[in-house]
């Protein structure tokens, strides 16, 4: 007799249990960026859990402790299955950073029943907004294959943090990027290269908060502001002294913004 496998057999998920009971609180699912892993979300998840939100942080398919993606995988539907598995009875607060933010917005559009509230951090409409951006994203796959993740991380990690970032944060970003595997990165990059959410943003129905680091030079403040302007009713906040990885540089400030946002929902 064979045992049926589930998405949680393929996708590793870190759980940060709620530190206290908060009546009516939804669980939160935190999605990392294209060079990250579930561990990138851990400092923020710990703070949200202490405030009463059980947080689930998946390693995307092909990242860290998750299995490599199967042929034809749809990363949005795969994460939707993760959401259903960890919170089968209630929609979740879905928080995505960078590439994870694009996944989160696409999921909110495709599976609105799964999302009680949406938080998008240092993100973008996707790299399919222009042919040059799409080509640049695809070229990163070739670069990773040719030079290896350690060399790519050594070159890129410093650009993800603010100029005066804690060196230990930059070192952690570099360590995580150095462990990126080509199968997962290739799927993520192709998803980004083929995605342009511009025309769909006005159809996002979930209450939304958009956050961006003051010194984000990767996706940029203007892109995040555009997301907030196009998503109906979205809030917009800039995280001071943070770069593209605001959730790692200033998890306390990001958590405060998220908790304030959730506390003001009907």
Query: At which residue do the structure tokens 């951090």 appear?
Result: 121
Structural domain boundaries, residue 150:
7-263
Asked if residue 43 belongs to a domain, the reply is yes
For residue 55, the cross-strand partners are 16, 28
What's the pLDDT at 150?
Answer: 98
- The dihedral over CA atoms of 5, 6, 12, 17, expressed in degrees to the nearest 10, equals -130
* CATH number of the structural domain spanning residue 143: 3.40.50.1820
- Please tell me the total count of domains within the chain: 1
Euclidean distance between CA atoms 206 and 118, whole angstroms = 6
Q: Give dist(CA 218, CA 110) in Å, integer.
A: 26
pLDDT at 1 (0 to 100): 36
- Terminal CA-CA length for the chain: 49
For residue 2, the model assigns a pLDDT of: 42
CA dihedral 185, 191, 193, 197 (to 10 degrees): -140
The Cα–Cα gap between 29 and 105 comes to: 13
* Domain-located, residue 116: yes
Q: What is the 3-state secondary structure (H, E, C) of 231-242?
A: CCCCEEEEECCC
Residue 219 near residue 98, CB atoms below 8 Å: yes
Best CA proximity match to 44, nearest among 60, 32, 61, 62:
32
Per-residue model confidence (pLDDT) at position 206: 98
Give the C-alpha separation, 246 to 241, whole Å. Answer: 9
Is residue 2 a part of any domain in this protein? no
Instruction: State the DSSP H helix or E strand holding residue 117, giving kind and residue range, or none if neither.
Output: strand 115-121
Backbone conformation region of residue 95, classed left if phi is above 0, alpha if psi is from -120 to 50, else beta: beta
pTM of structure: 0.96
Question: Across the 266 residues of the chain, what is the mean pLDDT of every consecutive 10-residue run?
Answer: 72 92 84 98 97 96 97 96 96 98 98 98 98 98 98 97 97 98 98 98 98 98 98 98 98 98 91
147, part of any domain: yes
Give the pLDDT of residue 4: 57
1 in a structural domain: no
């Amino acid at each position: 007799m064979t045992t049926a496998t589930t998405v949680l057999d393929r996708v590793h998920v870190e759980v940060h249990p709620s530190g206290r009971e908060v009546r009516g609180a939804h669980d939160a699912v935190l999605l990392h960026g294209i060079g990250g892993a579930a561990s990138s979300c851990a400092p923020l998840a710990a703070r949200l859990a202490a405030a009463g939100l059980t947080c689930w942080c998946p390693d995307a398919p092909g990242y860290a402790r998750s299995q490599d993606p199967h042929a034809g995988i749809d990363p949005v539907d795969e994460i939707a299955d993760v959401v259903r598995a960890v919170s089968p009875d209630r929609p979740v607060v879905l928080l995505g950073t960078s590439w994870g933010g694009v996944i989160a917005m696409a999921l909110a559009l495709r599976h609105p029943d799964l999302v009680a509230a949406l938080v998008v951090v240092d993100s973008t409409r996707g790299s399919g907004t222009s042919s040059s951006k799409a080509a640049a994203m695809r070229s990163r796959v070739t670069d990773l294959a040719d030079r290896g993740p350690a060399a790519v991380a050594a070159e890129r990690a410093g650009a993800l943090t603010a100029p005066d970032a804690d060196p230990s944060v930059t070192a952690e970003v570099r360590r995580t990027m150095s462990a990126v595997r080509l199968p997962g990165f290739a799927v993520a990059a192709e998803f980004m290269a083929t995605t342009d959410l511009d025309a769909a943003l006005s159809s996002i129905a979930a209450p939304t908060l958009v956050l961006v680091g003051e010194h984000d030079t990767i996706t940029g403040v203007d892109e995040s502001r555009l997301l907030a302007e196009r998503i109906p009713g979205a809030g917009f906040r800039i995280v001071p002294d943070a770069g593209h990885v605001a959730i790692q540089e200033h998890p306390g400030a990001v958590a405060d913004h998220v908790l304030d946002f959730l506390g003001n929902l009907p």
